[in-house]
Amino acid sequence: MGIVNVTPDSFSDGGRFLAVDDAVEHVARLVAEGADIVDVGGESTRPGAEPVSIDDELRRILPVVERVVGLGVPISVDTRHAAVAEAAIDVGAVMINDISGLRDRAMRAVAVCHQVPVVVMHMPNDDPATMQLHTDYDDVVGDVCAFLVDQAARALADGVPQIVVDPGIGFGKTTEQSLELVRRLDEIVELGHPVLVGASRKGFIGQLTAVDDPADRLAGTLAVHLAAVGRGASLLRVHDVAAHRQALDVWGSIESPLFAHERATTEPEP
């Protein structure tokens, strides 16, 4: 899943894709590099980010979604707001990425009404501004699993067609808690839903490696993401698609000798 942040203030690429033409060009590049899904968002959720009005979020993402649906790659909309999700679906998005974990009944209703899959991400509260004040878990993996089980069950009972779960790396997590979630990702995989991991360029990688510029954290990101795939993650949310494609092709060729060859020469199984 390639990341498209149509924001002025995202932690690693804020301001780079705020103009519609720049965002569309970026999507085309991510697709050319091998993204299977493109995730378009209009609100930075880094700790302390300024809240964005619904109108601004719509103004940022709708023109981009409208222009990229023709590229043939599925578009997911990265939003906490039901109205934004619905408007994006109306212009062609086919998936919701909800960092607030489908807490909002209205968001579940949008997914049910339009029969779109949803990424249900864990964060300890529904407010990026204060999430880092809520890192007091009994057992971070157990607490995250309990939240994801409850939210997935509620969503499926309401009629959401498909759930992807996500531990929310860095969202109300200390560095050690983010590492523990990746180390024990198999416990989240055992919940029975596809698992998405998004560690791309995040702060805990900088903290571990003393690399301040997020754009320089690709090697650390690949290390985390390959560890996650090795434990059963199905989707990776990434800024650097080409590097991930290369790493996954080589990793996959080691795990299964036909992997890279099959990817290059055959259509995927239905």
Q: Minimum Å distance from CB 113 to ligand HH2?
A: 21
Q: Minimum Å distance from CB 168 to ligand HH2?
A: 6
Alpha-helix residue ranges (DSSP H) falling in the chain: 20-32, 54-68, 82-90, 105-114, 140-158, 175-183, 185-189, 203-209, 218-230, 241-255, 259-265
Q: Minimum Å distance from CB 26 to ligand HH2?
A: 13
Residues 6 or more apart whose CB falls under 8 angstroms from that of 101 comprise 120, 121, 122, 123, 147, 148, 151, 168
Cα distance between residue 45 and residue 80, in whole Å: 10
Q: Minimum Å distance from CB 7 to ligand HH2?
A: 5
When the beta carbons of 81 and 237 are compared against ligand HH2, the nearer one is: 237
End-to-end CA gap in the chain: 19
- The identity of residue 140, as a single letter, is V
When the beta carbons of 216 and 262 are compared against ligand HH2, the nearer one is: 216
When the beta carbons of 87 and 200 are compared against ligand HH2, the nearer one is: 200
Given the residues 154, 202, 217, 231, the one annotated as active site: 202
When the beta carbons of 36 and 262 are compared against ligand HH2, the nearer one is: 36
Cα distance between residue 83 and residue 237, in whole Å: 23
Contacts with ligand HH2 by CB under 6 A lie at 3, 5, 7, 10-12, 41, 44-46, 78, 97, 99, 119, 121, 166, 168-169, 196, 198, 237
When the beta carbons of 65 and 196 are compared against ligand HH2, the nearer one is: 196
- 237 tagged catalytic: yes
Cα distance between residue 113 and residue 158, in whole Å: 10
Q: Minimum Å distance from CB 171 to ligand HH2?
A: 7
Q: Minimum Å distance from CB 257 to ligand HH2?
A: 32
Given the residues 108, 237, 245, 263, the one annotated as active site: 237
When the beta carbons of 140 and 196 are compared against ligand HH2, the nearer one is: 196
Beta-bridge partners for 75: 38
Angle between helices 218-230 and 241-255 (to 10 degrees): 40
- 201 tagged catalytic: no
Residue in the structure block whose two tokens are 């599925």: 74
Cα distance between residue 188 and residue 49, in whole Å: 28
2-5 sheet: strands from edge to edge = 2-5, 38-41, 75-78, 95-98, 118-121, 163-166
Residue nearest to ligand HH2 (CB): 198
CA distances to 73, 212, 260 from 93, rounded to whole Å, are 10, 34, 29
Active site residues: 202, 237
